[in-house]
Amino acid sequence: MQLHHKIFSFITLTWIILCPVANASGLALDPDELRGSSSKKPISVLQNRFYLKAWRPELGVLYGTITNEAYTDTKLHGYRLSVFLNEWVGVETQYILTTVKDSADRKALKKKIYRDQFENKLVTADAEVNPIRQMQDFVAVAAPLYGKVNVLDMLLVYVDIYATLGISRVNTQQGVKTAILAGGGQRFFWADRWNLRLDFRNRSYTETRAGNQSRRNAWSVDVGLGYLFL
């Protein structure tokens, strides 16, 4: 829970500092000029994307966590490289390293000591875990949704909402696993080259649990900073 609070605080502080500085009154259209004398006349406005991505390589860094582990606390840090073929579709690769620590539940289990009746010796209770050491993603990115949010008629926040689908090579204690990856995220633009990203990804693969093959879904959430070249 403390980790989630730290991530939320980091996102809030980053948004306040790096939020788009576009002034809503300076960019918005004047309703009176469009409506004329009638205050009830509807307004239809179609605006292209304000920040463009096509054929502009993007380099980014990320920090996050795997959220659905009971016995380990896994932090993520790494970098990503992507390029959009047009404003809607692109490809991306990520290289992620992990830092794995025992959770409070696992530490409590290790403190429990009992006698093994078969081998007549003292042993500790421990959970069966398969920690993730490294991940490399190869995905297609689709960004069909684009928009802007007016904040109190003072700021315009430009956003991209996208989905990701591909494969991931997950290096675990049991060896390298090939996972199916699906996820989504959102970009917040404040300049032509810089953007803040929030990503969720699920990597699904097979591992061994209690001697049997079992399907595992590793859910990750991360915050990233991206820079667009060209």
Task: Examine residue 117 and state whether it is found in any structural domain, yes or no.
Answer: no
The kind and range of the H/E element at 14 are helix 2-18
Q: How far, CA to CA in Å, does 167 sit from each of 67, 107, 139, 183, 224?
A: 19, 33, 6, 11, 20
Question: What are 41's two structure tokens?
Answer: 């006349």
Indicate whether 24 pLDDT > 50: no
Task: Examine residue 111 and state whether it is found in any structural domain, yes or no.
Answer: no
Task: Examine residue 177 and state whether it is found in any structural domain, yes or no.
Answer: yes
Share of the chain above pLDDT 90, in %: 58
* 15 φ/ψ sector (left φ>0, alpha ψ -120 to 50, else beta): alpha
- In whole angstroms, give the CA distance from residue 213 to residue 62: 31
**Residue 39's pLDDT band (boundaries 50, 70, 90)?**
low
**Residue 113's pLDDT band (boundaries 50, 70, 90)?**
confident
pLDDT tens digit string along 115-141?
Answer: 766 767 766 777 789 999 999 999 999
Q: How far, CA to CA in Å, does 204 sit from each of 17, 57, 177, 183, 201?
A: 36, 28, 9, 11, 10
Q: DSSP states of 80-127 as a string?
A: EEEEESSSSEEEEEEEEEEEEEE-HHHHHHHT-EEEETTTTEEEE---
Question: What are 214's two structure tokens?
Answer: 């079992």
Nearest to 63 by CA among 224, 218, 220: 224
What CATH number is associated with residue 177?
2.40.160.20
pLDDT at 48: 76
Task: Examine residue 220 and state whether it is found in any structural domain, yes or no.
Answer: yes
Nearest to 143 by CA among 123, 131, 125, 158: 158
pLDDT tens digit string along 165-200?
Answer: 999 999 999 999 999 999 999 999 988 899 999 999
pTM metric for this prediction? 0.77
Task: Examine residue 108 and state whether it is found in any structural domain, yes or no.
Answer: no
Q: What is the mean pLDDT of residues 8-13?
A: 58
The alpha carbons of the chain give a radius of gyration, in whole angstroms, of: 23
Count of domains observed in the chain: 1
Question: What are 94's two structure tokens?
Answer: 């990520």
Q: In terms of residue numbers, what domain contains 39? A: 2-103+129-228
Phi and psi at residue 211, in whole multiples of 5°? 80, 0
